[in-house]
Amino acid sequence: MSRNYKKSINFCPELNQAEKSPFNADNPLTYCLFPTLGSQFTHGSSSSNLLYGTYNPSCQNFMAEYCSKDWNKFCDTYEILNTDKSKPNNAARDPENFTYAQRFLKNNEPTLGEMLIRNTVSLRFIDFPFIGKRQEPFDSSISGSPTITIYENKNVGPSVIKPISNINDNVFIHKMLHNQKACFDVIARLYAGFVNGEANTHNFRNSILEKFFVENQNVLNYFLNYPEKTLDKIKDSHETYKTNKTTKHNLKDFYVGFQIQDTKNEFSVLTKGNIGTIPLYPCSEVGQTTPYFKKLCDPDHVKLVTYMDKGTAEDFIKNKEKISIYDGGNIYTASLPEKLPKRNTIIVYKNSDFAKV
């Protein structure tokens, strides 16, 4: 069908309720909810050859997108009834991470219903800005069939965490934590964002999500290849770097500092970054009265700073960790020095040191 023609579903939308009414035979819910032969009798062989069962790619993608907007009784029905563990996850935008996480959990085999929860919370919480995707009708044999999004998941690129509100009462958070094995890769991504101080993770603090992270940090650190007690160290660092005037620091811990300068004013909305598991702090927000950051933040064009003790710097240089900075939807990286610098060194990074990922 030519893209120049208007799709029939867009004509008279007040009359076309296929996507809204669960009693309309053209609604994808009538194809996807029940793992029985009923849909074949309802929709005929021409469509059911491609849309057979509840596990076909169209159904899995539709249900994930549908439930990510509002988890309701139809989502509960799919979760409860679809207990088959032999089917692949056809709606994972990042299938490599999903598969790796399930293998890590001693080859866990989630049900179709559990995979729906995983795909739903992934859509709800994680964004892949550079992933390819396309729109196509759910059932190409029906002129008014609603469109679904199909993701081209061969090269997903970097991901960012979306804003998550009202965490303690968020139905998607509860679904994820009650199905933690199936959702393990999503949980690990949120954990990594939290310990790295990424945007939209500040409200994880003092929530059921942080409580889960604390209780399960050993397995999460092992999965992500993070050092032991990473979360404990990050929590301590957040407490240490509070910007009130009563904050105290131990100068003996200061070994090497990092300045991220923006002499060309290219990083207009640069607000965050990290080196390994150590967050970088905006000069406009850190406590500039403290000995560390007064030393690191003196020039006006310095935007982000952090420091490391000697042991951490040695480990990060040995492991060839990268400096990552986030400018809106863009991610830039730079390399650490090949050798440990002298004590009290401040390493300056400028625009030319970073490459866009």
Residue 275: inside a domain: yes
Domain end (from 191, 224, 257): 224
Residue 191: inside a domain: yes
Rounded to whole angstroms, the Cα distance separating 224 from 230 reads: 11
Residue 2: inside a domain: no
Rounded to whole angstroms, the Cα distance separating 238 from 3 reads: 52
Predicted confidence (pLDDT) at residue 48 exceeds the cutoff of 50: no
Whether 50 and 168 share a structural domain: yes
Whether 124 and 19 share a structural domain: yes
Whether 198 and 259 share a structural domain: no
Residue 113: inside a domain: yes
The 10s digit of each residue's pLDDT in 335-345 is 999 999 998 89
How large a percentage of the chain has pLDDT more than 70?
A: 76
Q: How many domains does the chain have?
A: 2
pLDDT at 8: 45
Whether 327 and 285 share a structural domain: yes
Whether 21 and 141 share a structural domain: yes
**Residue 243 or residue 140, greater confidence:** 140
DSSP state of 122: H
pLDDT at 184: 97
Q: What is the mean pLDDT of residues 274-289?
A: 75
pLDDT at 52: 59
Structure token digits, residue 140: 């190409």
The number of helices, as runs of H, and strands, as runs of E, in the chain is 14, 12
Residue 267: inside a domain: yes
Residue 87: inside a domain: yes
Rounded to whole angstroms, the Cα distance separating 295 from 334 reads: 22
Contact 302, 355 (CB under 8 A): no
Angle, helices 217-224/208-215, rounded to nearest 10 degrees: 70
pLDDT at 248: 44
Whether 153 and 247 share a structural domain: no
Whether 180 and 219 share a structural domain: yes
Structure token digits, residue 318: 């040995």
Residue 315: inside a domain: yes
Residue 236: inside a domain: no
C-alpha triplet 153, 159, 161: angle, nearest 5°: 130
Whether 18 and 130 share a structural domain: yes
Range of the domain at 32: 8-224
Domain end (from 224, 253, 284): 224
CA 310 to chain centre: 31
Whether 250 and 162 share a structural domain: no
Whether 74 and 102 share a structural domain: yes
Domain end (from 190, 224, 258): 224
Averaged pLDDT score across all residues of the chain: 80
Whether 247 and 203 share a structural domain: no
The 10s digit of each residue's pLDDT in 77-125 is 999 999 999 999 999 999 999 999 999 998 899 999 999 999 999 999 9
Whether 208 and 317 share a structural domain: no
Predicted confidence (pLDDT) at residue 302 exceeds the cutoff of 90: no
